[in-house]
Amino acid sequence: MTQQRMDLLQGTLDLLILKTLTLQRLEQQKLIASEWSVSEKNRKAKYYRLTPAGRARLARETSDWKKLSNVINLILSTT
């Protein structure tokens, strides 16, 4: 697998993770923040939220993904 393809896959993964708010790596990059609290069922739970940097990254990654998928669709739809 080429480095460019691996970077694309990694960027796609980051986009999906930012959308679902998981992974410690994104927390270390300050894209998400977490805190421990007690759930409705009185259990210890970790809650995640996007940081301002995470929201900005999500917007950029979403825009980039839409542009890429539009180009791919154009290529695939030509005869």
Distance of alpha carbon 1 from alpha carbon 58, whole angstroms: 25
Distance of alpha carbon 40 from alpha carbon 74, whole angstroms: 48
| Residue with more model confidence, 2 or 54 | 54
Distance of alpha carbon 21 from alpha carbon 58, whole angstroms: 11
Per-residue pLDDT reduced to its tens digit, 7-64:
777 778 888 877 766 878 889 899 999 999 998 989 998 899 999 999 999 999 999 9
Here the tokens at position 66 are: 């839409």
- For the chain, domains (ranges, CATH) are 3-77 (1.10.10.10)
